[in-house]
Structure 1
Amino acid sequence: MEYRIETDTLGPIAVPASAYWGAHTARALQNFAISGIPVSAHPHLVRALAMVKSADARANGELGVLSQDKVRAIRQACQEILAGKHHGQFCVDVIQGGAGTSTNMDANEVIANLALEKLGHGRGDYGHLHPIDHVNKCQSTNDTYPTALRLALAAGALELAEELEQLASAAMAKGTQFSGVVKIGRTQLQDAVPMTLGQEFRAFGNTVREDCARILEAVDLMLECNLGGTAVGTGITAEDGFQRRALAALAEISGLPVRAADDLFQATWDVGAFMHLSGMLKRAAIRLSKICSDLRLLASGPQNGLGEISLPARQAGSSIMPGKVNPVIPEAVNQIAFAVAGADTTVTMAADNGQLQLNAFEPVMAHVLLQSIGWLGAGAASLRTLCIDGIEANSQMLRTRTEASAGVATALVPSIGYAAAAAVAKEALRSGEAVVDIVAGKQLMDLVSAKSVVDAAMAGGGTRMPGSVG
């Protein structure tokens, strides 16, 4: 491999001649061989960095502190990154010291060397266009990196919300499909009262839809940026008017209504928005996990479990038991939820350990939040297309069970009283006789009226007294 020699404040260092990154990135690769996961694993963050650098270059050009040929070259380089090119050059580890400086410098170096080629110069020929003096002009890692991270999280969260909405719609569609399928609801894993399978699935859909709304609310917090505050919030080294121009350009490039933070000092160290988003991701994950656990339980069997629904068979379930099929899609989503819950703990610890004017631990927050968003989105899509859409109800078995269940006695409480209904339920459990027949036999109600009340309850509409007006 051929190398070029670049120099930073620590001295010379060899850089692969073919690399667009430079000296700072080379040292980061030596220092942070930690996870083996490069920043390029999070394309939203790579694109967001390019957006920020493009907007800053435009602002510097408008202020007359960066020549138009450099502005064009930098912005052309950024446009290529936005188009998906050169992402492999963002190679520093997601776990890094320095509050994101290695990621910012990786971006500065890649953009600088791409821009140099567009100006007719070689990689590393920084006398013509420099990663810090030109690409990073009027900036600090402490404002560009958090701003890019916020854009990345907003973009990812918006995509996640779309996936969750589609999942909610799929569950609601099943709710409509199963609206006439009666079953016994359960509380504390014990038989409770009649309901419909449709009501159960509509509740799933509404749960996911609520979480989608909460995530969208969290996105708004991501749009408040400290860009222009530079190192600690004073705006040192930034030109007058830079913040306003840079944010206007960034809003145009990103398509998101980014805005300046009211207090740049607070915004430089505060990570409350990241904690809030993390909490909403955990909420969505845990509730989705609960739904998946319910699906696994409802589909348990098929012969000696609940067996109320059948999940689509996706793969052979055992290397020893022939014919066994496992609920692998819900199981995968359960595991995503476990990871998201762990990620929330990571964000909490990282937020707690920021000191004074900067939180140095945003890189790990960036990684786990972007991973959580990506995994939840993929999990939601998988659950929808490979599981929910293909669920079938075991309708006849459910009706037979429901009609024979002592749980329907609850529907008769308004008509015959709690004590009498309890006695009927106990006898039904002992004898196996239908509740309505016991009620009629005890002359508590006539058979037609008892069936009318029970049928109303089995339809999922609650209890209606005989002769009452609906």
Structure 2
Amino acid sequence: MSQEFRIEKDSLGELKVPAGAYYGVQTQRGVENWKISGLKEPEVFIRSYLYIKRAAAKINGELGLLRSDQAEAIQAAADLVLKEGKHLDQFVIDVYQAGAGTSFNMNVNEVLANLAAEIKGKARGDYSFVHPNDHVNAAQSTNDSFPTAIRISVLKEHQSLIKILDSVIATFKEKAIEFDSILSTARTHLQDAVPIRLGQEFGAFAEMLSKEKARLEFAAEELHYLNIGGTAAGTGMNSHPDYAKKMAHELAKLTGLALKPGKNLIELSQSLGDCCFYGAALRNLAIALTKVANDLRLLSSGPTTGLAEIQLPPVQPGSSIMPGKVNPVVMEMLNQVCFDVIGRDTTVAYSAQAGQLQLNVMMPVVGYHLVSGIQVLTNALKVSNEKCFKGIRANEDRCAEYFGVSMGLATALNTVVGYENAAKVVKRAVQEKKRIPDLAVEMGYLTEAEAKEVFSRRLTEPGFLEKK
């Protein structure tokens, strides 16, 4: 069955548009021009854009730029998507599109114009009541609406990321308490170093991620300042003097975010420094999580020829050829997601520096990689916390074994029995493959009670051991 079309025209001429589509001619040109990745804007970005159009219709109606029936129809059209979840499939522009995002802005304008037309009993493509440019886009430009949608979208996804990050931090704090009495050996340069408690290692993970959370929240603060109302170049041409302030207030009500009008709309229109700053904070979190995943993979290596200090929960068979093999697949997934996020930040950074004069036209790729980067990292943390972090178990016998044979104990023994005597104990420990605490007793340097006191959690805390 052949598809039916309607004919629409713009300044470049006529074009066939699918008869059932709520978008129009300019979106159709975008569909035909930007067959690049097959990737569409995330739903949170679509919704953020619709918040802007809904708010603009309301404010422009109040300020006399739109008739009340036009303003109400545009708001009702936006609510069909925002409140009822309808027509999300009508936002069809590829994420790799014309600079600044004009194709997507017009996609939103045309969908709302046609939905408004239907609400008033008119046919799709009849823009006599609500026009995509004259009414839906009134007092706006792609150059202020697109970056505003980016900032709102990032802030929305930021909330979800912080929530799961709090859960991960709480898990590591719980593990720090659970493993607090388990002595093992620290490793520097991947060589045995001084004693450490397994709980201290997990406490360090919690602190590391707490710092990254604070950096993310600090970076997110700047994103609350919007350039909406700046129109094409930040000067506010074709908008009411009160429009920018009223828009920020209305968007704050619609989104639940503490949004504010920017202090300098010209600067905000040409600079994506706030987005770049947030992307860098996101990259920092990915780097920290890479460290955590790497350490957990290493500490769980084995089970017979690796470190095997901890056990990660098994979630699936690890090999198609080696029976019984179980791999640290959740942490491998987390590593890959972190590498992806780090790469996205590089894209954001290059795009942020590519702005020229009064506009950075690379906004579409910045918005997509920031928003989708937060989303994949959030999802990866949810999976990691539920399927890995919460189920980590300590191999106490293996940790005790490493603690007893670590050459790092010689440092502690030195302060108690003297350098030469400690050296003798260590030499025999290496030759006979015996535990240093046992040999210190066997060679008469310490009693069993003294050895128990010396080789204890005291070695993992500040302080000095008294010389015997």
Assess same fold via TM > 0.5. yes
Instruction: Please name the residue that 2:36 is paired with.
Output: 34
Q: Does 1:77 align with 2:77?
A: yes
Question: How far has the Cα of 1:283 moved from its partner?
Answer: 0.5
2:412/2:465 contact within 8 Å kept: no
Relative to the length of structure 2, the TM-score reads: 0.95
The CA deviation at 1:441 is: 5.8
CA distance in 1, matches of 2:285, 2:228: 30
Q: 1:13 aligns with which of 12, 15, 23?
A: 15
Correspondence for 1:272: 273
Q: Which amino acid aligns with 1:451?
A: K
Q: How much has 1:439 moved relative to structure 2?
A: 3.8
Gapped regions of structure 2 (runs ≥ 5): none
Are the equivalent residues in 2 in contact too, given 1:154–1:222 (CA < 8 A)?
Answer: yes
- Read off the aligned partner of 2:67 and give its amino acid letter: S
Pick closer, same or farther for the CA change 1:5–1:301 going to 2, 3 Å: same
CA distance in structure 2 between the aligned counterparts of 1:136 and 1:419, rounded to whole angstroms: 84
Q: CA RMSD in A?
A: 1.9
1:295-306 maps to which residues of 2 (within 5 A)?
Answer: 295-306=296-307
Question: In structure 1, what is the equivalent of residue 334 of structure 2?
Answer: 333
User: Helix, strand or coil: the match of 1:126?
Assistant: coil
Deviation at 1:352, TM superposition (A): 1.6
Normalised by the size of structure 1, how large is the TM-score? 0.95
Report the more deviating stretch, 16-25 or 76-85: 76-85
Correspondence for 2:25: 23
Q: Structure 2 vs 1, CA of residues 374 and 408 (structure 1 numbering), >3 Å: closer, same or farther?
A: same
> Would you identify which runs of 4 or more consecutive aligned residues in structure 1 move more than 6 Å?
none
Pairing of 1:58-69 with structure 2 (within 5 A):
58-69=58-69
Match of 1:54 in 2: 54
* Alignment-mate amino acid for residue 49 of structure 1: Y
Distance, in Å, in 2 between the alignment partners of 1:239 and 1:142 is 17
- SS state of the match for residue 99, structure 1? helix
How far off is 1:416 after superposition? 4.1
**What pairs up with 1:309-348 in 2 under 5 angstroms?**
309-348=310-349
Shift of 1:116: 1.4
Partners of 1:226 and 1:267 within 8 A in 2: yes
| Contact 2:215 2:281 survives alignment (8 Å) | yes
The reply to whether residue 236 of structure 1 matches residue 237 of structure 2 is yes
Query: Quick check: 1:282–1:340 contact (8 Å CA) kept in 2?
Result: yes
Shift of 1:88: 1.3
Q: Does residue 156 of the first structure (1) align with residue 164 of the second (2)? A: no
Q: Is the 8 A contact 1:456 1:463 kept in 2?
A: no
- 1:32-431 alignment, distance < 5 Å: 32-39=34-41, 42-83=42-83, 84-416=85-417, 421-422=422-423, 424-431=425-432
* 1:185 partner letter: A
Within a 5 Å distance, the mapping from 1:443-454 to structure 2 comes to 445-454=446-455
CA distance in 2 between partners of 1:369 and 1:202 (Å): 29
Contact 1:58 1:246 (8 Å CA) reproduced: no
Asked if the contact 2:404–2:437 (Cα under 8 Å) also holds between the matched residues in 1, the reply is no
Q: Secondary structure at the match of 1:305?
A: coil
Whichever residue aligns with residue 45 of structure 2, its letter is L
Is the 2:410–2:423 contact (alpha carbons within 8 Å) kept by the matching residues of 1? yes
- How big is the shift at 1:437? 4.3
The secondary structure found in structure 1 opposite 2:194 is strand
Q: Which runs of 5+ in 1 are unaligned?
A: none
- Output one character per residue of 1:387-412: Cα deviation in whole Å (capped at 9) or x when no partner: 11111111122213312333222223
Deviations for 1:162-182, whole angstroms, at most 9, x for unmatched residues? 111111111211112111222
Contact 1:453 1:463 in 2 (8 A): no
Cα displacement (A) at 1:464: 4.8
Structure-2 separation of matches of 1:30 and 1:265 = 33
Deviation readout 1:321-375 (Å, 9 max, x if unpaired)? 1111111100001001111111111111111211111001011111111121011
- State, as a whole percentage, how many aligned pairs show the same letter: 41
